[in-house]
Amino acid sequence: MLLKPNVSVHNLNVFYGKDHVLHDVSVEIPNKKITVIIGPSGCGKTTLLKSFNRLIDSVDGVKVTGEVLVDGENIYDPKAEVTHIRKKMGLLSQRPYPLPMSIYDNVAYGPRLCGEKNKKKLDRIVEHFLHTASLWDEVKDKLNSPAARLSVGQQQRLCLARGLAVGPEIILGDEPTSALDPKSSKHIEERFMELKQYYTIILVTHILRQAKRLADYVLFLYMGRLIEHGPAKEIFENPKEKMTKEYIQGIIS
Amino acid sequence: MMRGLAVASTLIVVLIALALFMRSKPILALKPLTTLLFSTAWHPSRGEFGFLAFIAGTLWVTLVASFIAIPVCILASIYLSEYADKRLREWIGPFIDILAGIPSVVYGMWGVLVIVPLVKNIIAPLFGGYSAGYSVLAGGLVLAVMISPVIIHISVEVLRTVPSDLKQASLALGATKWETIKFVVMKRAMPGMIAASVLGLSRAFGETIAVMMVVGNVARIPRTVFDPAYPLPALIANNYGEMLSIPLYDSGLLFAALLLLLVVIYFNVVSKMILSGSKWSLYYNG
Amino acid sequence: MDKKNNIHVRRLEENIFKSLMVFSTGAIVLALALILWTVIRKGLPHLSLGMLTQAPKSGYYLGKDGGILNAILGSLYLTGGAALLAILVSLPVVLYLNVYLKKGSPLAYIARFSFDILWGIPSIVYGAFGFTIMLLFGVKSSLLGGMIAVTFLIFPIMSRSMDEVVRMVPGELMDASYALGATKLETAFKVVVRQALPGISTAVLISFGRGIGDAASLIFTAGFTDSLPTSLLAPAATLPLAIFFQFGTPMPEVQGRAYASALTLTLIILVISVAARLLTRKFTKHVV
């Protein structure tokens, strides 16, 4: 059976004030795969990613037209409940931003917002997702110490656990390894490879080699336009567009 | 030469404290500190100098002002930095900053014309009390308005330092904007907010003319906010004329100035230490 | 748990707090606007050219003719003198902190810390301090006495505001100047001051605005007189005290003049403050 895609984008345009940042983007993101958005910096990768969970709402003077369907619901519908949409997605940003609280509270933050008060249940959730992010062994003895004390690599895995704890279907990653050392990056990449059997993963990266390692499906953005998209193999080995080819060969960047 | 000037200017605080201390020495030599601070007997012509009523007056007025101003200002600064759209923010911010420059004598005048009648005719009867209008509450209200721009200005600056990525991290987890503010932004901004409030408090503590015009200046410990009070700065300002004709009076008033100075320095050092915040710095890197 | 219900309660909480915030912001803006409105409404009918161009004549405080020129001039002279004195101290100190001292120098840290504390000291304390200095040197209440007190009052404001802008002068600019063989002194006064001039002017304006509105530091030190200021050593009238004294009389006529004086002073301060702001805006436009 063919699954309806979690995320599909129709004629999405985004303006920041007078700047037209995304031009008429339409694409279907495949389920339970890793989709990687590539393109030179400033091409609108992050904007596209953050339009999926409406984090661009907080930009001053932002205007959005077109629609983004998540599970068939247009998230830009004025009646849509934005917290509900965001709960469907976990976000990893370029640098990890642990919330100013303990490791435990970071992971329990989302579930608590949804009204989960049962201490035992919370304990179980925290332990489970710290395991999933393969952080449990490193932090199990200091769950109550401030999250900011962890190393950057650990913090990013904590952010992963925190994002998974709200029970999302989709994981969004905005160059999630760019602030990490090679070893921590590898750690995160391995998590993605494991998680893709359960989650739809959408990543932004400017590292082509990383894109090649991880991607099942690729979107190539240039100057706010979606130039080409398709299965990773096709895009990397046999791109249709000249611009995609030049980007992949490193002629434009 | 420039170095000398720099060092000298650094020592002005010490110089002021020393000068006031030297001038308060005569009264400190004659009266025990406890009498000065904890007696209410105030008869300079008989040589009795108990500052308690004035100290109490200052504390009352300052506390009432802070009690009104701090929550209101914190809510307003959150609104301005997190909710208000850009255009509104760009108007209200400068408006508040510019009006912060209105001289205190004008605040005092406004207090007499607007706040005093308000307290006398509306607020006091509403709570079943009587007030001549010139009262702790009037002083507190005028002060609250006066210190608001200071508190808001600093609080907004502090809130602006909270990285937007941190807020987005919380929003991405399904938090509402208010939950993000409550659990994340406020936690990060708390030290700065406290420092802003302490600075506002210290401003209120030393404000003279505006308070003096509306507070009634009766040297008795106020029992309710509807009673008049006589804060220390008003005492100093009101009696400059006679102070040289009564023995020890000038020394007494400069002792009052020294008290003000020490308390204000204490407040400022505390807020400065909070702002540089070693204790919270752990939560700061994010 | 019922998700729909949960988000209802959470949204309700948000809306309650949001209303409180709007209310608080509105209350403060309204109170400040009300002050401005009160001053204008009360002051405008009493404001006349005669008020601004004459000194008080005999019987002025009983409602007879005259104006507040004595106080206007007194305030301008006094604050102008104080601002000048404060520049003479602030500028070299600020340049020293930023050009001569290395980043992280303890003296610079202590100096900034102490200026911040000075900034917080109430003006009545500066008045009392100025008074003790005057006693020490045998100066009576006078223009000079007031000037000294106000100089101390605005020195920290001026230094800290100047410091903020001088700090922004790029180190590369100073390096370029050294590379051309300039000494530190030349670099400080020719390059840094020129680069930061708009910001320095803003600092001076802000301090002037603060000084001209202050009353508590002048009660002891400047005295009051009905004649125009002529000598540094004679008492001088000032606007804030003129407002205070006229407002305190029972005569409605004189109170009216207090309102007009208050309007005058407020206008002077607002004009200065807006000018300072425009200057900063222009300045930052050039930098970016």
Hey, where are the domains in chain C?
A: 2-46, 52-284
The answer to whether residues A67 and A12 touch, using CB atoms and an 8 Å cutoff, is yes
Helices C3-43, C252-287: crossing angle, 10 deg rounding: 120
**With an 8 Å Cβ cutoff, are A166 and B179 in contact?**
no
Tokens describing residue C30: 């309204």
Each residue's pLDDT tens digit, B21-41: 999 999 999 999 999 999 999
The three-state secondary structure class of B109 is helix
For residue C122, the one-letter residue type is P
**With an 8 Å Cβ cutoff, are C42 and B23 in contact?**
no
Q: Quote the CA–CA distance of A217 and A226 in Å, as a whole number.
A: 14
Each residue's pLDDT tens digit, C64-75: 788 899 999 999
Per CB-CB distance under 8 Å, the chain A contacts of C10 are: 83, 113
Each residue's pLDDT tens digit, C188-230: 988 999 989 989 999 999 999 999 999 999 988 998 998 898 8
Please tell me the total number of residues recorded for chain C in this structure. Answer: 288
For the stretch C148-184, what's the b/e string if a residue is b when 16 or more beta carbons lie within 10 angstroms of its beta carbon? bbbbbbbbbbbbbbbbebbeebeeeebeebeeeebeb
Specify if B286 maps to a domain.
no
The answer to whether residues C114 and B21 touch, using CB atoms and an 8 Å cutoff, is no
Nearest CA in chain C to A83: C7
Q: For residue C140, count other CB atoms closer than 10 A to its CB.
A: 13
Nearest CA in chain C to B270: C117
The answer to whether residues C116 and B201 touch, using CB atoms and an 8 Å cutoff, is no
DSSP H helices in chain B: 2-10, 12-30, 33-38, 52-78, 86-99, 104-110, 116-117, 124-126, 136-160, 164-172, 177-180, 186-206, 209-214, 232-238, 249-276, 281-284
Res. B277 pLDDT band, cuts 50 70 90: low
**With an 8 Å Cβ cutoff, are C10 and A116 in contact?**
no
Q: Quote the CA–CA distance of B232 and C201 in Å, as a whole number.
A: 36
Q: Quote the CA–CA distance of A224 and A13 in Å, as a whole number.
A: 9
Q: For chain B, how many structural domains are there in total? A: 1
CATH class of domain segment(s) C52-284:
mainly alpha
Per CB-CB distance under 8 Å, the chain A contacts of B169 are: 91, 93, 97, 99, 159
Q: How far is CA A250 from CA A206, A211, A236, in A?
A: 12, 14, 12
Per CB-CB distance under 8 Å, the chain C contacts of B98 are: 270, 273-274, 277
Separation in Å, CA of B70 to nearest CA in chain A: 23
Q: Quote the CA–CA distance of B204 and C42 in Å, as a whole number.
A: 26
pLDDT at A4: 66
**With an 8 Å Cβ cutoff, are C35 and B110 in contact?**
yes
Specify the residue for token string 């002060």.
Answer: B143
Mutate to test the interface with C, among B7, B10, B112 (most CBs of C within 10 A): B10
ipTM: 0.92
Number of B:C CB contacts under 8 A? 237
pLDDT at C161 over 50: yes
| Angle at alpha carbon of residue B106, lines to B105 and B111, rounded to 5° | 95
Query: A-side interface with B, Cβ within 8 Å?
Result: 50, 53, 55, 58, 60-61, 83-84, 86-87, 89-91, 93-95, 97-101, 109-110, 113-114, 146, 148-149, 159, 162-163, 166, 172
**Which of B165, C50, C29, B49 minimizes the C-alpha distance to A55?**
B165
Q: How far is CA A145 from CA A101, A140, A142, B232, C152, in A?
A: 8, 11, 5, 46, 48
Q: Quote the CA–CA distance of A234 and C283 in Å, as a whole number.
A: 54
The three-state secondary structure class of B16 is helix
Q: For residue A181, count other CB atoms closer than 10 A to its CB.
A: 12
Per CB-CB distance under 8 Å, the chain A contacts of C3 are: 84, 114
Q: Given a contact as 3+ CB pairs under 8 Å, which chains touch C?
A: A, B
Per CB-CB distance under 8 Å, the chain A contacts of C7 are: 81, 83-84
Q: Given a contact as 3+ CB pairs under 8 Å, which chains touch A?
A: B, C
Average pLDDT over residues A215-243: 93
**With an 8 Å Cβ cutoff, are B84 and C35 in contact?**
no
pLDDT at B243: 78
Q: For residue A229, count other CB atoms closer than 10 A to its CB.
A: 20
DSSP assignment letter at B101: T
The three-state secondary structure class of A1 is coil
Per CB-CB distance under 8 Å, the chain B contacts of C31 are: 145, 148
Per CB-CB distance under 8 Å, the chain A contacts of C6 are: 114-115
Complete DSSP assignment for B117-183: HIIIIIIHHHTT----S-SHHHHHHHHHHHHHHHHHHHHHHHHHTS-HHHHHHHHHTT--HHHHIII
Q: Given a contact as 3+ CB pairs under 8 Å, which chains touch B?
A: A, C
Average pLDDT over residues B58-86: 96
Each residue's pLDDT tens digit, B110-120: 999 999 999 99
Average pLDDT over residues A193-217: 94
For the stretch B80-102, what's the b/e string if a residue is b when 16 or more beta carbons lie within 10 angstroms of its beta carbon? bbbbbeeeebeebbebbbbbbbb
Average pLDDT over residues B153-170: 93
Please tell me the total number of residues recorded for chain B in this structure. Answer: 286
| Angle at alpha carbon of residue B251, lines to B250 and B254, rounded to 5° | 85
Nearest CA in chain A to B170: A99
Q: Is A127 on the interface with C (CB under 8 A)?
A: no
Burial of C286 (0-12, 13-18, 19+ CB in 10 A): exposed
Q: Is C3 on the interface with A (CB under 8 A)?
A: yes
Which residues 8-47 of chain C have a CB within 8 Å of chain A? 10
The three-state secondary structure class of A60 is coil
Specify if B164 maps to a domain.
yes
Nearest CA in chain B to A156: B286
pLDDT at B229 over 90: yes
**Which of C273, A103, C173, C200 minimizes the C-alpha distance to B97?**
C273
Q: Quote the CA–CA distance of C123 and A177 in Å, as a whole number.
A: 55
Q: Is A115 on the interface with C (CB under 8 A)?
A: yes
Res. A14 pLDDT band, cuts 50 70 90: very high
Sign of CA dihedral C50, C52, C53, C57: positive
Q: Quote the CA–CA distance of C199 and C95 in Å, as a whole number.
A: 13
Specify if B284 maps to a domain.
no
Specify the residue for token string 């002051």.
Answer: C43
Helices B86-99, C252-287: crossing angle, 10 deg rounding: 130
The H helix count followed by the E strand count for chain A is 10, 10
pLDDT at C287: 46
Q: Quote the CA–CA distance of A42 and B21 in Å, as a whole number.
A: 63
Nearest CA in chain B to A146: B283
Q: Which domain holds residue B51?
A: 2-275
Specify if B252 maps to a domain.
yes
CA C60 from chain centre, in angstroms, equals: 29
Which residues 133-152 of chain C have a CB within 8 Å of chain B? 133, 152
Q: Quote the CA–CA distance of C62 and C185 in Å, as a whole number.
A: 58
The answer to whether residues B55 and B38 touch, using CB atoms and an 8 Å cutoff, is no
pLDDT at A1 over 50: no
pLDDT at C271 over 80: yes
pLDDT at C5 over 90: no
Q: Quote the CA–CA distance of B18 and C133 in Å, as a whole number.
A: 12
In sequence order, the 6+-apart residues with CB closer than 8 A to the CB of C61 are C246, C249, C251, C254
Mutate to test the interface with C, among A82, A83, A109 (most CBs of C within 10 A): A83
Res. B273 pLDDT band, cuts 50 70 90: confident
DSSP assignment letter at A40: S
Q: Is C173 on the interface with B (CB under 8 A)?
A: no
Specify if B114 maps to a domain.
yes
Each residue's pLDDT tens digit, C17-36: 999 999 999 999 999 999 99
Number of A:B CB contacts under 8 A? 80
Each residue's pLDDT tens digit, A85-100: 999 999 999 999 999 9
Q: Quote the CA–CA distance of B233 and B231 in Å, as a whole number.
A: 6
Per CB-CB distance under 8 Å, the chain B contacts of C100 are: 2-3
Per CB-CB distance under 8 Å, the chain C contacts of A87 are: none
Separation in Å, CA of C7 to nearest CA in chain A: 8
Tokens describing residue C54: 């004459």
DSSP assignment letter at C257: H
Average pLDDT over residues A197-213: 93
A250: left (phi over 0), alpha (psi -120 to 50) or beta: left
For residue C47, the one-letter residue type is L
Question: Which of C39, C89, C213 shows the shortest C-beta gap to B5?
Answer: C89
Mutate to test the interface with A, among B81, B166, B173, B188 (most CBs of A within 10 A): B173
Tokens describing residue B258: 């020294």
Tokens describing residue B27: 């009264």
